[in-house]
Amino acid sequence: MKGKTVALLLALLLLLPLAASAETELYVKKVDNLPENFIFGMDISSVIAEENSGVKYYGFDGQEQDLLKILADSGITHIRVRVWNHPYDAQGRGFGGGNCDIETALAIGKRAAKYGLKLIVDFHYSDFWADPGKQMVPLAWKDMNMEEKTEALYQFTKESLALLRDGGVDVAMVQVGNETNGGLCGETDWGKITRLMKAGIQAVRETCPDALASLHFTDPQNTGNYAWYAQTMAENGVDYDVFASSYYPYWHGDLDNLAAVLSQVAETYGKRVIVMETSWAYTGEDSDFSGNTISDESAVEKNYPYTVQGQVNSLRDIADTLVNRTKNAIGMVYWEGAWITVGGASREENSTLWEKYGSGWASSFASVYDPNDAGQYFGGSAVDNQAFFDPSGHPLESLKVFQLMRDGYGEAPETEQPEEAKTAGGEEAPSNYIRDPGFENGGEGWTFHDLRHADQLYVEDKKNDSLTGTKHAHFWSAAQNSVEFTLEQQVDGLPEGNFSFSISIMGGDAGEYEAYAFVKLNGETVATAPMKITSWNNWDTGTIPEFFHPAGADVTVGVYVKCQGKGAGAWGKIDDALLTPVQ
C-alpha cells in the first residue's frame, strides 16, 4: 500500500508540469469535412455518486465548475446516461456504478439542459449492468410471462421518458437495450428479444417523437456479427433509426473493419450509425486502488501510447474514420470520461465511499441481485486512467480534442505513431504463431488436461472477465485440492529460430498454488515462467523471453495451474497467448 501511495503522489506531481507545458506540445490532426452537427457525446452516468463522494471538477481556468459546463465548453454536445430499473437492495442500499436509476438520469439531464447539452438515454432493462456477458431481468419482472414483461418494458420506458421530458430534459436519442449481443431482459431468443425492443421503441416514438431510437451492439471485430444483427432486426420488423456500436480500440479490431461493418449496415438497411462507447487511457497507472480495465500490465493491443497525446490520437482517428470513411455516421460517445478516484489515500478509505454513495463500479449490496459477478468482485473505478480529468479533478489537455480536431492544432511530430506504421508493414512471418490466442473462436487448437477433478474447465464468453475480447479459458472448483490442470497447444508450422512465449492469468481464492507458463520441445519442458494468482482483474503475465526452436522439433506451449483452494473454491481466467519471433 505504501509503495502505491508514493507512486500516486509521484504521478500527481508529474501531472502538474505536464498540464502546464502540454499546450505547446499537443498535436491534433485536422478532421476534414467534420459536420457542424456531428455528435460528440460523453457518458457521465457516475457523476452524481462521484460528487456525493466528494469529487470536485475544475475548468481549464483552475476554478471549480459544474462538470456539465466544463464539457459543454469543451465541445461536447450530448450527455449519455445509463438507466437501471431499480439498482437497490431491500434496505434501499445502492448497487453502485453510480446507482443509475431514472431519478439520477433526470438530475443529470436537467443540468445538461442548463448548458444546452442534449441527453442520450441508455436503458439497460436490468437492475444492474447489462452487457454481452449478462442481461439479467429486473427483479420486479422476474416472474412475468412474455406478455406481461413486454407491457412492463413499454410502460417503464414510457413513464421514464415522460419524467425526463416533463422535467425539461432535451432527449435526443434513446437506446433500447445496452450491448444486446445475446440477450435482453433475461430473454435469449431473438423472437422475444425483438418483441421487447419493438415495445421499447414504440414507447420512444409515442413519448419523445423527435428522439432517435437506437439499438446497441458490440464486437464489431467478429466477422459477420453486425450484418447478422441488422438482418435479424429487419426480418423481425424492428423499426429503429440508429445502429450503435461500442468501439474500444484495444478489443474491437481496427478502424478499417469498423468503417466496413458499420457502412454495410448503413447501406443495406438505410440506418444511421454511431460509436456509442469508446475510450483510451492517458496513463497506465491506477489512482483509486481498484484495478483498471487496461493498464501497463495488460497485454492488450496497444494501438496508441497510454498518454494524453495517445488519447487525442485515438479519438481523432475514430472521428476521421466515421466522418470520412463510414456511411451515415452521426457521431461518437466517450464512455465515463469523469469517473476518477474518489480521492482517499487507501483502498479502505475509498471503499467506504463506494459503498455509501455508489461511486465504485459495484458495491457489496449488489450481491443480492448479481451474486456471481458484482457480489464477489465489487470495487471502485476501472476507468480512472481513461478519464479526461486527473485524480484531483483538473482537466487534461486531451479534453480539448473535440474542438481542436475541427481545425487542427499544433505541429505534427516527425515520427507520428510508430506503432501504426509497424503494423502497416509487410507480413512475411506471422507475429503470433498461436491458434486462437485469445480464445475468441472457442479455444481452437487448445486442450485442457484435467489432472484432478475440477468442476469447471472451459472457454467462457464473458467480457468483464476477459483480458481482451469477450472470451477466455475459465477454471473453477469448489472442493479443496481439486484444481490441477494444464491448458496447452501444439504449435504447427513453427520455423527454426528464437521465440518468446507469454500467457496471462487472473483469479482468486487460490490458497497455496503453483502456476506457470511452459514451453515443451519434443515432450520435454525446456522453459517455464511463474504466474501470480491474486484477485479479480489483476492479470499476471508469465513470459518466457527466449527459447530456441530447432527445425522439426515438436513444440507445445501452455500453462500449468495447481491450487489448494481456500475453501470458497479456487477460480481463474487465462487469456491472450503470444508466441512470437525474437529478433
Comparing CB distances to Ca ion, the nearer of 317 and 384 is 384
Contact string (CB under 5 A) for Ca ion, positions 371-410, x = contact: ----------x--x--------------------------
Q: Which of residues 29-48 bind Ca ion (CB under 5 A)?
A: none
Comparing CB distances to Ca ion, the nearer of 131 and 286 is 286
Comparing CB distances to Ca ion, the nearer of 387 and 559 is 387
Q: To which H or E segment does residue 49 belong? A: helix 47-52
DSSP string covering 280-331, please?
A: --S-S--SSSS--SS-TTS----SS-SSHHHHHHHHHHHHHHHHHHSTTEEE
Place of cell 452487457: 131
CB of 122 to Ca ion, least distance (A): 22
CB of 146 to Ca ion, least distance (A): 40
The three cell numbers locating residue 88: 437497490
CB of 289 to Ca ion, least distance (A): 7
Comparing CB distances to Ca ion, the nearer of 214 and 386 is 386
Residues in the chain: 583
Among 218, 246, 292, 464, binds Ca ion (CB under 5 A): 292
Comparing CB distances to Ca ion, the nearer of 292 and 466 is 292
Phi, psi of 400 (to 5 degrees): -80, -5
Comparing CB distances to Ca ion, the nearer of 153 and 308 is 308
Residue 293 binds to Ca ion (criterion: CB under 5 A): no
Residue 440 binds to Ca ion (criterion: CB under 5 A): no
In the DSSP assignment, the letter for residue 463 is G
* Cβ atoms within 10 Å of 214's Cβ, excluding its own: 25
Comparing CB distances to Ca ion, the nearer of 9 and 429 is 9
CA distance 265 to 543: 41
* Catalytic-labelled residue, pool 50, 187, 277, 484: 277
CA distance 438 to 520: 20
User: Both ends of the chain: CA-CA distance in Å?
Assistant: 38
CA distance 488 to 473: 11
Q: Is 277 a catalytic residue?
A: yes
Exposure string (b/e) for 447-460, b if CB count within 10 Å is 16 or more?
ebeeeeebeebebb
Alpha helix segments (H runs only) across 440-518 = none
Angle at 54 between CA 52 and CA 335, to 5 degrees: 70
State the number of binding residues for Ca ion (CB under 5 A). Answer: 6
The arrangement of strands across the sheet holding 513-521 comes to 446-450, 483-491, 555-563, 513-521, 524-530
Of the ranges 237-245, 291-299, 351-359, 392-400, which one interacts with Ca ion (CB under 5 A)? 291-299
CA distance 313 to 307: 10
CB of 286 to Ca ion, least distance (A): 4
Residue 285 binds to Ca ion (criterion: CB under 5 A): no
CA distance 359 to 58: 19
CA distance 339 to 44: 7
Residue 290 binds to Ca ion (criterion: CB under 5 A): yes
CB of 306 to Ca ion, least distance (A): 14
CB of 160 to Ca ion, least distance (A): 30
* Catalytic-labelled residue, pool 179, 187, 484, 488: 179
CA distance 345 to 286: 13
Torsion of Cα atoms, 276 then 277 then 278 then 283, to 10°: 150
Q: Is 336 a catalytic residue?
A: no
Residue 286 binds to Ca ion (criterion: CB under 5 A): yes
CA distance 70 to 400: 11
Comparing CB distances to Ca ion, the nearer of 214 and 311 is 311
Comparing CB distances to Ca ion, the nearer of 177 and 393 is 393
Contact string (CB under 5 A) for Ca ion, positions 234-273, x = contact: ----------------------------------------
CB of 379 to Ca ion, least distance (A): 8
Contact string (CB under 5 A) for Ca ion, positions 333-372, x = contact: ----------------------------------------
Place of cell 419482472: 141
CB of 380 to Ca ion, least distance (A): 5
Among 179, 187, 288, 373, binds Ca ion (CB under 5 A): 288
* Cβ atoms within 10 Å of 551's Cβ, excluding its own: 8
CB of 287 to Ca ion, least distance (A): 6
CB of 182 to Ca ion, least distance (A): 28
Comparing CB distances to Ca ion, the nearer of 500 and 538 is 538
Q: How far is CA 72 from CA 44, 318, 371, in A?
A: 13, 20, 39
CA distance 84 to 45: 11
Residue 451 corresponds to which amino acid? L
The three cell numbers locating residue 387: 478519464
CA distance 370 to 364: 10
The residues of the shown chain that bind Ca ion, judged by CB under 5 A, are 286, 288, 290, 292, 381, 384
Q: Report the catalytic residues.
A: 179, 277
